[in-house]
Each structure stands twice: as C-alpha cells, then as structure tokens.
Amino acid sequence: MRKQKTLFITVEGGEGSGKTTHSNLLKDYLAKSGFSVLLTREPGGTALAEALRKILLTPNSNLTPLSELLLYEAARAQHIQEIILPALKDGKAVVCDRFTDATLAYQGYGRGLSASLISKLNGAASYAIKPTLTFYLDIDPKLGLKKAKSLDKESYGKDGDRIERESRAFHQRVREGYLAQAKKEPKRIKIIKTDKNIAKTWNLIEKELEKCLKKF
C-alpha cells in the first residue's frame, strides 16, 4: 500500500446530479491507484446515522428547520467519530457522498437558517475536519429533480423523499448556495458540469483528481 497524507474527498450536488455514480467511480479509481479506500455517505454511514437519515428523508414529517439542521449535525458527529476519523487515522482515503457543504447549501440557502450558526455546528460536528477536495456536480434542478424522482432509489414513491418534495425555488437556492461556496473556496471545491454523459463528467473529475494526487 502506498504511503500517503490524509485524503478526504467529498462529492456534492443537487438531487439527481449523479453523485452516487461518481462516488463509486472515485472509489474504484483510488483503489486502482493503490489507496485503501472507504466510501461512505451523509446522512448515514453508521447504524444511528442511517436511522436519522430515515427520519430526515421520510415525507410528511413535521420536522422544523432547526430540528432538521440538528439531526443532520447529530448524524455527522456520529459518522465522523465512528467511521471517518478512524479510517483517516488508518491511512485510508475517504470518499464521502455529501458533507458539511450540503448543510450550508440546504439548511442555509434552502431553509434560510443562519450561516454562522451552521458554520459553528459544522465545525463542532465534523471535529473541524475539512475535505482535501470537493467535487460539486452542478445540475439544473428541473432536470435533476425529474431524474431523482424517476430513479426513486430509496423507495419514497414518485414524488421523491422529503427533501426532493421541496419546491423548485428551494432547490434553486440550494444550487446558488453551492455555487457561492465554490466561488469562495475555488481551490477546494471544483465545479463539475453534468450536462454531458457519465463518461464525460467522469473525465472532468478524473482530471482534477490527478492534479490533486500529484501532491501525494
């Protein structure tokens, strides 16, 4: 196994942007490059966090925006301590499907909660661990929502999960949130256009990844 520094890659994007497909491709690529890789997701990755995921994504609950934020952060705190930190300490490369940027985009821009509160909670729940590199898969919400609902990956029905059922305007704000964050941190967050096919999107990711791996 090759000697390495910490490699923590996160994959972000709107609904139906292809995050899961590309997270899997990232895992395979890194494994072929000699890394021992952990692929995980948020909310989720541990039994408790997966149970919180169910609560967060089941439609028709009466969660308030603040309760929603705190549940995402609780899932994160558990996930970081139980799964991500031990894997990084073991020298594994970690690929995580969504992380702290999602909270700023969805609960900050989407729900309108305070960005400074979210940053504090993100910092505490993630033990201030920052991704080495983040891919933001950009998709027009109109297209992405249609795709996500038709796939119905977690069986929430044709209208999608609780978040997918939010308005187009909500998802548009989420997109603006991600783009604003990418503008603030261009070295870490790479905007990946997803308007072509999977192979072309992967090509864009691969190029950025190769640049990053040269530093290892």
Q: Which residues lie near ligand TMP (CB under 6 A)?
A: 15, 41-43, 72, 98, 102-103, 106-107, 163
Which C-beta is closer to ligand TMP: that of 35 or that of 39? Answer: 39
Rounded least distance, CB 155 to ligand TMP, Å: 12
Which C-beta is closer to ligand TMP: that of 37 or that of 56? Answer: 56
Which C-beta is closer to ligand TMP: that of 70 or that of 213? Answer: 70
Task: For residue 73, give the nearest of 125, 110, 136, 117 by alpha carbon.
Answer: 125
Burial 113-125 (b: 16+ CB within 10 A, else e): beeeebeebbeeb
Matching residue, tokens 């548009």: 172
Rounded least distance, CB 214 to ligand TMP, Å: 29
Rounded least distance, CB 86 to ligand TMP, Å: 20
Rounded least distance, CB 93 to ligand TMP, Å: 20
Contacts of 10 (CB under 8 A, 6+ apart): 95, 96, 97, 98, 99, 101, 131, 133, 134, 135
Name the closest residue to ligand TMP (Cβ): 106
From residue 74, how far is each of 10, 150, 185, 198 by CA, in Å?
18, 30, 25, 33
Angstrom distance (rounded) from CA 110 to CA 171 = 7
Which C-beta is closer to ligand TMP: that of 58 or that of 203? Answer: 58
Which C-beta is closer to ligand TMP: that of 164 or that of 209? Answer: 164
Rounded least distance, CB 186 to ligand TMP, Å: 22
What is the helix (H) or strand (E) element at residue 43, kind and residue range? none
Which C-beta is closer to ligand TMP: that of 42 or that of 138? Answer: 42
If DSSP codes are grouped into helix, strand and coil, which group holds residue 138? strand
Rounded least distance, CB 35 to ligand TMP, Å: 23
